[in-house]
């Protein structure tokens, strides 16, 4: 009996499955879809939601070529077909074709944007396919079609034209030269006006980047207005990050809305649309008692900001297709600690800076590169810690380095404790004493966080 196997083809992402068929005097049995076994062999976990069967009474029934806005897994339950696929996606593979004969022991995984057609080789053929979106009449407006007899692709149909049974609609599809290639699923970046959002926008020129003015997560109904049709990935770089302001009554409500409630709404929307969610979180979900926190360290936030971010993490972690990226001490274009120290150095001011909080800076260049790396290599979904590399330092160490780079004496920075810095009456949020995040897991994916000078 054939062992379950998954084979690659000349079309990127188009996979052929060899299925075990168990037969005896009564007939046969097979598993057309077995998530655990097939995913382990390399089939995408494409989350089918609908099963369709096309029954074809005669030999020579010919259907296609259709590229639909979803992924599918095709096989036959009775009979045989000559299956043909043409890559209609934008890119170097456009126009490439693959043909496979399908019997009950064969299935083919067809990614979105790859045109699909078949021709029956036996009477009473039942062609069955799983799809990961619900069919609707309106969805046909998003199909891409190709002429079955296109001379450029030149598919080797075994049944000659005069013996084919083809619908009038399938006779009128355009040639390859007139086909508009299927564009890849879009990436949406939330928080496009922030430090990380601007960095991501620069690295993702084709992304839909939404600033707070365009989508404000502080508004309770904001996520319901987010159109996720044609979207493959959402990167949530939006957050309420006023750590001390979150300790006020108004700030507390804002932090919970933006960092928790809206994130839960976003995770639910991504689940409905089968969208991958990348969510950026923080070292503030920890209490700082662990010298180095890895992805398994229990969260124990000290203040409202950390608590709201931890709640958002819980919502995201319940989503199958997610990357939860924790980071610390972010530095990018705009207002940040390094920019503040540069300004003080330039103005001749000698600041007092805390020296009892340890961590690593994270330049937005590092953070954006790491996030895109996870997506590009298809790293396992889950939680990753991502900061700059190098030895942990204190805020005072960073300030001294900035002052030295600016031509000031590093000793012009006075190290003080957190308690001394805030004083007895100045309202402030509790901070973790250690914000050092372990980078072993992100490195295991092939990404090496660089050591970047302040």
Catalytic residues, by residue number, are 66, 129
Alpha-carbon span 138 to 416, nearest angstrom: 64
Backbone angles phi, psi at 21, to 5 degrees: -120, 120
Helix-then-strand count for the chain, H and E: 10, 25
Per the structure block, which two tokens stand in for 359?
């961590």
Category of 181 on φ-ψ map: left (φ > 0), alpha (ψ -120 to 50) or beta: beta
Alpha-carbon span 449 to 451, nearest angstrom: 7
Neighbours of 44 (CB within 10 A): 15
Classify each residue of 272-301 as buried b or exposed e, where b means 16 or more C-beta atoms within 10 Å of its C-beta.
ebbbbbbbbbbbbbbbbebeebeeebebeb
Q: Which residue has the tokens 């290599």?
A: 377
Q: Is the distance from CB of 2 to CB of 21 less than 8 angstroms?
A: yes
Per the structure block, which two tokens stand in for 218?
């502080």
Neighbours of 417 (CB within 10 A): 12
């Amino acid at each position: 009996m054939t062992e379950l196997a998954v084979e690659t083809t000349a079309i990127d992402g188009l996979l052929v499955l060899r299925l075990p068929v168990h037969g005896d005097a009564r007939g046969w049995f097979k598993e057309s879809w077995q998530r655990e076994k097939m995913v382990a062999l390399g089939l995408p976990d494409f989350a089918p939601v609908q099963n369709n069967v096309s029954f074809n009474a005669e030999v020579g029934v010919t259907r296609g070529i259709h590229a639909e806005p979803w992924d599918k897994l095709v096989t036959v339950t009775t009979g045989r077909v000559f299956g043909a696929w043409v890559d209609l996606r934008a890119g170097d593979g456009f126009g490439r074709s693959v043909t496979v004969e399908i019997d009950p022991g064969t299935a083919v995984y067809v990614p979105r944007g790859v045109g699909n057609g078949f021709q029956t080789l036996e009477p009473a053929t039942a062609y069955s396919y799983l799809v990961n979106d619900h069919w609707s009449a309106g969805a046909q407006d998003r199909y891409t079609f190709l002429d079955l007899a296109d001379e450029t692709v030149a598919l080797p149909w075994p049944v000659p034209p005069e013996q084919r049974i083809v619908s009038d609609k399938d006779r009128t599809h355009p040639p390859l030269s007139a086909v508009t290639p299927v564009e890849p699923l879009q990436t949406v970046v939330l928080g496009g006006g922030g430090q990380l959002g601007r960095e991501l926008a620069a690295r993702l020129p084709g992304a839909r980047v939404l600033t707070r003015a365009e989508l404000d997560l502080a508004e309770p109904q904001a996520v319901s207005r987010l159109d996720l049709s044609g979207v493959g990935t959402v990167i949530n770089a939006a957050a309420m990050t006023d750590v001390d302001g979150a300790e006020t009554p108004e700030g507390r409500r804002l932090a919970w809305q933006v960092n928790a409630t809206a994130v839960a709404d976003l995770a639910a929307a991504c689940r409905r649309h089968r969208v991958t969610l990348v969510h950026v979180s923080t070292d503030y979900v920890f209490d700082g008692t662990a010298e180095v926190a890895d992805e398994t360290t229990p969260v124990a936030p000290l203040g409202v900001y950390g608590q709201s971010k931890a709640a958002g993490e819980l919502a995201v972690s319940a989503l199958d297709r997610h990357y939860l990226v924790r980071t610390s001490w972010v530095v990018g274009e705009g207002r940040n600690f390094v920019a503040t120290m540069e300004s003080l150095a330039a103005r001749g001011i000698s600041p007092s800076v805390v020296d009892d909080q340890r961590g690593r800076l994270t330049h937005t260049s590092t953070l954006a590169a790491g996030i895109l790396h996870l997506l590009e290599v298809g790293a396992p979904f889950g939680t990753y810690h991502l900061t700059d590399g190098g030895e942990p330092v204190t805020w005072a160490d960073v300030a001294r380095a900035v002052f030295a780079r600016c031509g000031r004496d590093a000793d012009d920075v006075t190290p003080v404790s957190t308690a001394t810095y805030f004083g007895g009456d100045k309202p402030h949020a509790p901070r973790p004493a250690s914000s050092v995040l372990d980078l072993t897991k992100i490195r295991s994916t092939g990404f090496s966080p660089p050591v970047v000078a302040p």
